[in-house]
Structure formats: C-alpha cells, structure tokens
Amino acid sequence: MDILPGTAGELLARVARAQSSARLPSLVAGVVRDGALVWHAGRGRVAGETPGPDVQYRIGSITKTITAITVLRLRDAGLVALGDRLEDHVPGTTFGEATIGQLLAHRGGVQAETAGPWWERTAVPPWDELVDGIGAQARTHLPGLRFHYSNLGFASLGELVARRRGRAWFDVVADEVLAPLGMGRTTYRPVPPAAPGLAVHPFADVVLPEPEFDAGALAAAGQLWSTPSDLARLAAFLLGDTADVLSADTLAEMKEPALTRTGEDRPGYGLGLQIGDGEDGRRLAGHAGAMPGFVAHVVVDDAARLGAVWTANTTYGGDWALGPALLDIVCRSEPPVAREWRPAPPPDGVGLEQLGTWFWGPNAFTLRATGSDRLELAPLDRGGASRFRRRRAEEPPGAEWVGIDGYHAGERLRFAADGSHFELATFVFTRWPYDGGPIPGGVDPGGWTAQPPPGP
C-alpha cells in the first residue's frame, strides 16, 4: 500500500531537515512496507543530480549483518555450531577460544580493530599476514564477559565462511544471500552510478574526497557497496520475507538480544544485528554502517511491519535518529492494521488436550498453539512468554520442541507419552500443582494442608 500524501510530506520534511542540519552532500532515504520500498526521497547532489534509490553508497558495517546471515546458513547446514570455538575452524589466532556465537554477538573478547594503520583508509593484507601482525593484544577480555564491538572478530567470521565453503567470502555471500534476495546492486567495489566518499569540514561548507580501498581480510566487517533499493530488500528480509535464505526460526534467533551493553539496561546486539527500542517500547532491529566518506542505516519494526533505510556520503556524520524517526512518522500517521486472524490447525502431533493450563510447582502457565507450527508457554500472572518450534533433524535428540525466545530460548521441551506431564529444562509441568508426574524430590505424603509443619 502506497504512503499517503500527507505522510509523504512529513517524511520529506524530516529527510530534508536531516540533510540540511547534518550537512550531508547527498542523502537518500526510504520506507519499506509489505516487502517493498513504498516511499523514497533524495536530497543533495551526486554528479549534479538528485540521487535516487539506485545510486550506490558504501554501507560499512551493514556488511556484518550479511556476513552473519551467511554464517548462520553454515550453522543450519550442520557445517558449524554456534558453540564451536573459532580455533576449531580457523586455527592460528590468539583469540581462538572465542565461539562462533560470541563473535556474532561481539562478545568474543576480541579487540575492535587491527594492529596496523587505520584499516578503513588503507589497503588491508590477506588473513594470514593480518593475524601474524596482531599478536596477543587481540584479546581484550575473557570471551562472553561483556559486549565489545569488534571488526576483527567479524573478519574472522569471513575467514570461517571462506574456509568452510572453499571459496572467497564475497563469492559465497553473492551466491547464497545477495542473488536469492534479488540484491543485484550490492557489490564488493563500487559500480556506477555511485556516490563519491566525502568528508565535510567541521568549520566550513567545503568537502574533501576520501580514499577507497579494498578492505581485504576485513571485508566481512565493512566492505560492501549497496543502494537504498537493495537495502530495502534487506529490510524486507529482516521483516520476514527471507526467500528461504534463512528459516523464520533462525531469523528470530538473530533478533534475540545476546547480551545487554555494559552499563545499559536495554538490549544491545543479537547475532549480527543491533537491537534497540523505538517509541512506545517497540523493539527495533537492524544495523548502522560507516566508512570514511559514507554512512548508512537499515532498521525494522516487526510489530509495525515497517522498515526504514538511508544512505549518505559523509565521514562518520549524519542524523542517526533519522531511521527510527521515519518509522515513527508512518506509525503515527498510518497506524499499522493488524493481520487478519484465520483458523489454523494445531501443530501435527499436538492435540487440543495437550494445550491449556499447566503447573510448574504451584505456578500456573498457559500452553497454547500459535498457528500450525508454534507453541507458546506463558505464566498466567506476569509477562515472559517463550515460543517453541519443532526440533530440527540435525539437533540432538531428547526433545520434541526447542525454545525460540524468552527465558527458555534454546531449551528442550518433551511431552510424556501418557500426557500426564511435560519436561522443560529439568522442570516438570503437571496438570495440577505437584500432581500427575514424576516430581523431582517427591511430594510430601500428607499432601496440601491448612496446618503446615512446625519446621524441618
């Protein structure tokens, strides 16, 4: 559905204010809805013309999201596990004890940059030469201890992809992610029409061309060039139109915050995705990118089924509130219409008699089917639901369902054959408090009473 004229006018005003106040030589922004770029606007000039959605800009760390998608495809194919150490697949580094999952979430304890010159403005050597020059200082803290953004960590994930697939990182990305998603204008080096990388003087309205180099061994952290149209397709992917590049379950896994940022009581990063909060507490997911001469952002709001993208050519500047602001304008002016509810059978093998109220000790929970392929377990007296999917064939046996999110993310749920109970993370859920299943520790033979015993 197209953006209404009144909304379009407000969006254009916000984009124009961003370009003017942040002094951006050029800016292209757009809104994604129903899987398509439904509105866009350009400001400034590229080669003397107002830029459109097919003009390339370097997208910097948005490349990390595409790298993460490629790594998760390896995991889903059974070629790696998120708990594998980097050393298991890419030996020879001083941070090889970090796991694949930790590196995807920037909690591998790896230094942010390299040991050489400013890599974003100089040619980067091949992987083996890069690693030889780093040494022990590559470790900043113990893996898993804290969030620490690391370009070097994502470079190692690019090397992992290359070694497991036996081809260059970008060749794998192009074949397995970009081509299926129809992102044909996302390339390793610029392909015209492309904006020039520029720095804007802090005290005068003049610009300076920035150099553009092959990021080499660090390409997986920030090399790619793309267009607003292609970034809109990436936003549609993040909103669920995955074209079978990833399953819906794996996409949900990407968006689950792995660790809060140190000193902040809010989500920070999932698996290759930045996680934040929009207005009214809505959860936002996406990634920002910056390289000398360029900035870019893609952000989506699952609840509103909306995405926003923007690209500009300036060095580490821009208006970083622009993406969420565009989402807020559309949500306020054109509130999202709830999806139409339709009847659906419960998942195969799950009968209606297995749904309803269950008890963990004396605490009541509701187990319900959500569509034909999900279960949801939620406490009756508070928030904190967990969703479950079927166990994949490649996962260890011993459970029928696996948690997708919430407290029980990754945990296994198994129904008893006689229907009396189900087990989840060593807990036993029964149809009545402490009744009907093998209760760990047993149940007092006196049963429930109004006269508790005096003490142990």
pLDDT (0 to 100) of residue 391: 83
Distance CA 65, CA 48 (A): 32
Q: Which of 387, 370, 377 is nearest to 427 (CA)?
A: 377
Domain 24-333 sits in CATH 3.30.1360.120: no
pLDDT (0 to 100) of residue 261: 45
The DSSP element (H or E) to which 28 belongs, if any, is strand 26-33
Cα atoms in the Cβ-side hemisphere of radius 13 Å centred on 376: 11
Cα atoms in the Cβ-side hemisphere of radius 13 Å centred on 342: 4
Q: Largest Cα–Cα distance in the chain?
A: 87
Q: Domain ranges in the chain?
A: 24-333, 352-430
Q: Is the Cβ–Cβ distance between 167 and 161 less than 8 Å?
A: no
Q: What is the CA radius of gyration of the chain?
A: 25
pLDDT in tens, 15-72: 999 999 999 999 999 999 999 999 999 999 999 999 999 999 999 999 999 999 999 9
Distance CA 173, CA 382 (A): 43
| Range name among 85-89, 107-111, 426-430 with the lowest pLDDT average | 107-111
pLDDT in tens, 311-321: 999 999 999 99
- pTM over 0.75, yes/no: yes
pLDDT (0 to 100) of residue 280: 73
pLDDT (0 to 100) of residue 262: 46
Instruction: Give the burial string for 415-444 (b: 16+ CB within 10 Å, else e).
Output: beeeeebbbbeeebbbeeebebbeeeeeee
Helices and strands of the chain, counted as H and E runs: 12, 20
